[in-house]
Amino acid sequence: MNVLSDQLLNMERHDSIFESAVRALPLPVCAAFGDADGVRPVAFAGSGRILGTRDSDKVAASFPNSVRASGNTVLASAGVNRKVPRDRRVAVMFSGGPAAGGHNVVCGLRRALGPNNTLLGVRPGPKGLIRGDLFEITEADTQRVINTGGFDFLGTDRTKIKTDAQFDLVRQTCVRHGLDAIVVIGGDDSNTNAATLAESLFRNVKADGSGVQVIGVPKTIDGDLQIGDLLPISFGFDTATKIYSEMVGNILQDTRSSLKYWHFIKLMGRSASHVTLEVALQTKPAVTLISEEVAEKKQSLAFIVDQIAQAVAVRAGKGIGHGVVLIPEGLIEFIPEMSALITELNEALARHATEFAAVVDAEKAAFVEDTLTPANARLLSSLPAYVVRMLLAERDSHGNLQVSLIPTERLLVDMVKARLGVIDDRIRFAAHCHFLGYEGRCGAPTLFDAAYTYNLGLTAGSLVLDGRTGYMATVTDLDRGGVPRALPLTGLLNIERRHGKDEFVIEKALVRMDSPAMQYLLSRRAAWAGDDLFCSPGPRQLWGQVARQMPISVALNSGAASLEFRIG
Ligand code: FBP
- The per-residue pLDDT for range 1-48, each reduced to its tens digit, is 689 999 999 999 999 999 999 999 999 999 999 865 689 999 999 999
Q: What is the pLDDT of residue 1?
A: 62
* Lowest-confidence segment of 64-73, 326-335, 394-403, 508-517 by average pLDDT: 394-403
Report d(CA 101, CA 454) in Å as an integer. Answer: 8
pTM reported for the whole predicted model: 0.94
Would the pLDDT of 270 be above 90? no
| Chain segment 530-568, per-residue pLDDT in tens | 999 999 999 999 999 999 999 999 999 999 999 999 998
Omega cis (within 30) before 539: no
Q: What is the pLDDT of residue 38?
A: 85
Q: What is the pLDDT of residue 397?
A: 66
Instruction: For ligand 1, pick from 127, 221, 234, 449 the residue to mutate: most ligand atoms within 8 Å of CB.
Output: 221
Q: What is the pLDDT of residue 37?
A: 64
Q: What is the pLDDT of residue 405?
A: 84
Q: What is the pLDDT of residue 395?
A: 79
Answer yes or no: are the C-beta atoms of 504 and 517 closer than 8 Å: no
Q: What is the pLDDT of residue 35?
A: 65
Q: Using a 6 Å cutoff on CB, does residue 59 contact ligand 1?
A: no
Q: What is the pLDDT of residue 281?
A: 98
Q: What is the pLDDT of residue 36?
A: 56
Q: How far is the CA of 232 from the centre of ligand 1 (A)?
A: 20
Nearby residues of 517 by Cβ (< 8 Å), 6 or more positions away: 277, 278, 281, 511, 552, 553, 556, 557
Residue 442 has a CB neighbour count (10 Å cut-off) of: 22
Q: What is the pLDDT of residue 23?
A: 95
Q: What is the pLDDT of residue 134?
A: 98
| Chain segment 123-157, per-residue pLDDT in tens | 999 999 999 999 999 999 999 999 999 999 999 99
Answer yes or no: are the C-beta atoms of 234 and 478 closer than 8 Å: no
Q: What is the pLDDT of residue 501?
A: 81
Would the pLDDT of 359 be above 80? yes
Answer yes or no: are the C-beta atoms of 275 and 269 closer than 8 Å: yes
| Range 93-118 average pLDDT | 97
Residue 403: pLDDT band (50, 70, 90) is confident
What is the share, in percent, of the chain residues with pLDDT greater than 70? 98
Phi, psi of 442, rounded to the nearest 5 degrees: -120, 15
What size, in residues, is the chain? 568
Q: How far is the CA of 160 from the centre of ligand 1 (A)?
A: 14
Q: Using a 6 Å cutoff on CB, does residue 187 contact ligand 1?
A: yes
Report d(CA 159, CA 357) in Å as an integer. Answer: 21
Report d(CA 282, CA 251) in Å as an integer. Answer: 13
Would the pLDDT of 101 be above 90? yes
Instruction: For ligand 1, pick from 93, 222, 271, 395 the residue to mutate: most ligand atoms within 8 Å of CB.
Output: 222
Would the pLDDT of 411 be above 60? yes
For residue 76, list its beta bridge partners: 45, 485
Answer yes or no: are the C-beta atoms of 528 and 489 closer than 8 Å: no
Would the pLDDT of 122 be above 90? yes
What is the share, in percent, of the chain residues with pLDDT greater than 90? 90
Answer yes or no: are the C-beta atoms of 309 and 262 closer than 8 Å: no
Q: Give one DSSP letter per residue of 396-450, joined into a string.
A: -TTS---GGGS-HHHHHHHHHHHHHHHH-TTS---EEEEEESGGGTSSPPPHHHH
| Chain segment 474-512, per-residue pLDDT in tens | 999 999 999 999 999 999 999 988 777 889 999 999 999
Domains of the chain: 35-236+443-506 (3.40.50.450), 241-441+514-542 (3.40.50.460)
CA of 445: how far to CAs of 10, 11, 148, 209, 277, in Å?
Answer: 21, 19, 7, 41, 20
Q: How far is the CA of 96 from the centre of ligand 1 (A)?
A: 7
Q: Using a 6 Å cutoff on CB, does residue 180 contact ligand 1?
A: no
| Chain segment 181-209, per-residue pLDDT in tens | 999 999 999 999 999 999 999 999 999 99
Q: What is the pLDDT of residue 497?
A: 82
Residue 273 has a CB neighbour count (10 Å cut-off) of: 31
Calculate Rg over the CA atoms of the chain. Answer: 24
Report d(CA 452, CA 547) in Å as an integer. Answer: 13
Instruction: For ligand 1, pick from 159, 238, 268, 270 the residue to mutate: most ligand atoms within 8 Å of CB.
Output: 270
| Chain segment 342-353, per-residue pLDDT in tens | 989 988 988 898
